Amino acid sequence: MTVIATENLSKRFPRVTALDRLTMRITPGVTGLVGANGAGKSTLIKILLGLSPASEGTASVLGLDVSDRGAEIRESVGYMPEHDCLPPDVSATEFVVHMARMSGLPADAARERTADTLRHVGLYEERYRPIGGYSTGMKQRVKLAQALVHDPKLVFLDEPTNGLDPVGRDDMLDLIRRVHTDFGISVLVTSHLLGELERTCDHVVVIDGGKLLRSSATADYTQRTATLAVEVTDTDTHPDGTTALREALTAAGLTVAPAGAAGEGLPGAGHVLLVEAAGSGEEAGDAGNAADAVYDTVRDTVAGLGLGLVRMEQRRHRIAEVFQNSPQPGTPGAPDTPAATETVQKGGSTDAA
């Protein structure tokens, strides 16, 4: 089943081409739309809502053509805009009830759905306070609640983590995941940070300068690598267990490197060694077989040194690495230009910071 489909979709403004022959297909679930500022994400959402006409090409949302079924699309789709657009003098309850009524819900149902939705986004206690006094995180939740209140089949969330601190961002990403798991609502969420979509989305679409760089399942970006991440404890005999293991594994003929920058995202990366499995293969299966002998050597070496083994696991790629290390040949608009590569790296490095 297709939720969103575009075919050669372009949007040209007098001075800039915001979308350039974008062809993609999105299925139910949580989909991330990632690109640097100005990549064309908000423009795409406005076209998909039927609010802005495309210059050429076609698009459909829930099987409805955006060029002439905009009103029907907006009945079934919720939209959380990027920019702050909330009236400061009314409470979350008043505002969300109003939006529910605008979507056609009768008064009683609007009040009931508002209470449920505000509870779901974690704003129940503060629901009668004026929005003007809310924190950024609370305002983002009000925007999310108004997008959900009419029980849509699909929601477009434009940069919902903007302006949030790391904890607020994690909370928002969890909430977004639950919009799909708890209510079965499909989600299209935009971000300029590649990394944050990795654990939230089933599928990630990357655009740059209005062009499609790649559209794949998250699992395809984060395939297992032919590298084992190994972490050990220190002991009285070996106060620096990591160094002792590194020397012993190197002596045993294995290629070992400290995790360093490549270990970003691994808890305790400073103590993690990356051990290459011989005969690396791109396929997870090949890499798995090749790793078996290395697993045995690592296990025996750790046991021989008397160290405790904290972790031994096959590393997975992070989405940002896919773009930094290996342009996808044959991918439409593959990042073979410096500008394209830089844009996606920018997303990755911002996230790492």
Ligand X SMILES: Nc1ncnc2c1ncn2[C@@H]1O[C@H](COP(=O)(O)OP(=O)(O)OP(=O)(O)O)[C@@H](O)[C@H]1O
Binding residue count for ligand X, defined by CB under 6 A: 13
Query: Nearer to ligand X by C-beta: 51 or 219?
Result: 51
Query: Nearer to ligand X by C-beta: 70 or 209?
Result: 209
Report CA-CA distances (Å) from 58 to 21, 27, 278.
10, 17, 48
Query: Nearer to ligand X by C-beta: 46 or 315?
Result: 46
Q: Which of 46, 105, 31 is nearest to 79 (CA)?
A: 46
At closest approach, how far in Å is the CB of 219 from ligand X?
Answer: 25
Query: Nearer to ligand X by C-beta: 38 or 265?
Result: 38
Residue 325's SS3 state is helix
Distance CA(254)–CA(77), nearest Å, equals: 54
Q: What is the CA radius of gyration of the chain?
A: 24
Tokens 């969420």 correspond to 189
Query: Nearer to ligand X by C-beta: 18 or 193?
Result: 18
Determine, following the binding rule CB under 6 A, whether residue 160 of this chain makes contact with ligand X. no
Strand partners, 212: 207
Binding mask 19-58 for ligand X (x = CB under 6 A): ----------------x-xxxxxxx---------------
Among 3, 4, 18, 147, binds ligand X (CB under 6 A): 18
Give 347's contacts (C-beta < 8 A, 6+ positions apart).
34, 35, 36, 191, 192, 193, 194, 195, 320
Stretch that binds ligand X, among 11-19, 56-64, 107-115, 235-243 (CB under 6 A): 11-19
State the pairing for strand pair 30-34/186-191. Answer: parallel
Query: Nearer to ligand X by C-beta: 207 or 294?
Result: 207
Among 13, 167, 184, 329, binds ligand X (CB under 6 A): 13
Query: Nearer to ligand X by C-beta: 126 or 159?
Result: 159
Tokens 């078996």 correspond to 292
At closest approach, how far in Å is the CB of 4 from ligand X?
Answer: 16
Q: In the range 275-334, which residues lie near ligand X by CB under 6 A? A: none
Q: Which two tokens stand for residue 38?
A: 């100005």
Q: In the range 81-120, which residues lie near ligand X by CB under 6 A? A: 82
Query: Nearer to ligand X by C-beta: 42 or 301?
Result: 42
Q: Is 81 left (phi over 0), alpha (psi -120 to 50) or beta?
A: beta
Determine, following the binding rule CB under 6 A, whether residue 194 of this chain makes contact with ligand X. no
Determine, following the binding rule CB under 6 A, whether residue 16 of this chain makes contact with ligand X. yes
Residue 184's SS3 state is coil
Distance CA(99)–CA(321), nearest Å, equals: 41
> How many CB atoms are located within 10 Å of the residue 139 CB?
19
At closest approach, how far in Å is the CB of 145 from ligand X?
Answer: 22
At closest approach, how far in Å is the CB of 36 from ligand X?
Answer: 7
Distance CA(279)–CA(298), nearest Å, equals: 17
Give contact residues for ligand X (rule: CB under 6 A). Answer: 13, 16, 18, 35, 37-43, 82, 159
